Structure 1
Amino acid sequence: MIEKILPPWVASAEAFDDPPGVTLFPEEEAAIARAVDRRRREFTTARHCARQALAQLGLPAVPILPGERRAPEWPDGVVGSITHCAGYRAAAVSLEALAVGIDAEPHEPLPDGVLTAVSLEEERDALTRLGGQIHWDRMLFSAKESVYKAWFPLTRRWLGFEEAHITLVPSGTFTARLLVPGPLVDGRELTGFTGRWLVADGLVITAIALPKSPAPQA
């Protein structure tokens, strides 16, 4: 499902349950030694998806440990992203991208009070003009999560919810305008991201893939 909103130069794998018999590397086991069962299952299946995606790139299975701010540590030359929520786990990786960010959420309204905490007033005003049967508040939250996941490996800096302005487009895309100085990419300051979104099977999924310059050919 997630491959529908990723370019062909990004490999992905997903799971809608936690398959039995999946094992972790000893280093990964150590990283979640004190985790509760739910966290352990999320972590294990997400790593399983990540190794499936790496295999599509012709790369061997390796430990994928949580690093700074729990961002996954990928093999040299690889960028990627992991997401999980109730009933869904996925990973996306690429050798041809500068950054990848993915996020999945249940397709339901955000809990009371969350939208105000994670959005700008201008964004909330824009949501009221979007119609249809989509929970746009959850979509906005997911897009911001994908933006952060693409941003952090480039900068190693935190990005607050209020530091990027998201514009959601009903046709299935979104743009993110950075409200703080971005990193230099090919000698230019990065000012934002573009991404795609999908609603299916009770899920909201968003994805960003920032290509190297020039963009890889399909």
Structure 2
Amino acid sequence: MIEEILPPEVASAEAFEDDRDGRLFSEEEAAVAGAVPARRREFTTVRHCARAALGDLGIPAFPLPPGAQRAPRWPAGVVGSMTHCAGYRAAAVARTSRVHSVGIDAERDEPLPEGVLEMIGLPEERAMVDRLAARQPATSWDRLLFSCKEAVYKVFFPLARRMIGFDAVRVDIGGGGRFGARFLVPPPTAAGRAVHRVTGRWLGRDGLLLTAVALC
């Protein structure tokens, strides 16, 4: 599924259930020492997805322990993103010679808990969610807004190396499974140029909402 919303420069892999016999590198083992079994399984499976995607780029198995803000530490010359939610794991990677940054996110297609939309959505975004829900109530547009912002953050952080809040980005969800996002804070830079806006794609299917941004 995730490959449908990623450009050809990006390799990806996904799983719909966990690999209960999966193995980790020692550096990864240390990151989940003492974790509950469910957390260990999702951690392991998403890294197996990442190694499969790296293999498509011709890169051998490589340890991917979490680094700053728990973002995975990728091999030199590679950018990537991982995501997981109930019933879904995925990873996407690309060479830095082709893609500056990539971010993916997966969520269940279910409404956000009460009060969360007010925390993560700007007034204009909340109005947009209301309009979209009135036209197509079958999609959890509030959850999709959250997912778009997560994917955008995953693109932003490796470039800027700083955290931002949900109010730092304004998202516009358009037709045809596309969305745009404008930074309301000092933007990141890529190849020496400021990136004020990014575009992405989204997909809703089988109870899932997937979002992806690739900055090429």
Give, in angstroms, the shift of residue 27 of structure 1: 1.0
Q: Cα deviation per residue 1:58-82 (whole Å; 9 max; x = unaligned)?
A: 0000100100000010000000000
What does residue 191 of structure 2 align with?
186
CA distance in 1, matches of 2:172, 2:128: 8
What does residue 140 of structure 2 align with?
135
Q: 1:162 aligns with which of 161, 164, 167?
A: 167
CA distance in 1, matches of 2:21, 2:42: 14
Partner SS state of residue 7, structure 2: coil
Contact 2:160 2:189 in 1 (8 A): no
**AA matched with 1:204:** L
Instruction: Show the 5 A alignment for 1:10-49.
Output: 10-49=10-49
What does residue 67 of structure 2 align with?
67
What does residue 6 of structure 1 align with?
6
Gaps of 5+ in 2: none
- Normalized against structure 2, the TM-score is what? 0.96
Contact 2:189 2:195 in 1 (8 A): yes
Give, in angstroms, the shift of residue 183 of structure 1: 2.2
- Normalized against structure 1, the TM-score is what? 0.95
Q: Cα deviation per residue 1:157-212 (whole Å; 9 max; x = unaligned)?
A: 0011000000001310000000011123233211021000000111000000001x
Identity %: 60
Give, in angstroms, the shift of residue 21 of structure 1: 2.1
**AA matched with 1:157:** R
Give, in angstroms, the shift of residue 35 of structure 1: 1.1
Partner SS state of residue 104, structure 2: strand
Runs in 1 of length 4+ with deviation above 3 angstroms? none
What does residue 214 of structure 1 align with?
none
CA distance in 1, matches of 2:131, 2:31: 44
CA distance in 2, matches of 1:43, 1:187: 34
What does residue 216 of structure 1 align with?
none
Q: 1:106 aligns with which of 84, 105, 108?
A: 108
CA distance in 2, matches of 1:65, 1:77: 17
Instruction: Show the 5 A alignment for 1:71-90.
Output: 71-90=71-90
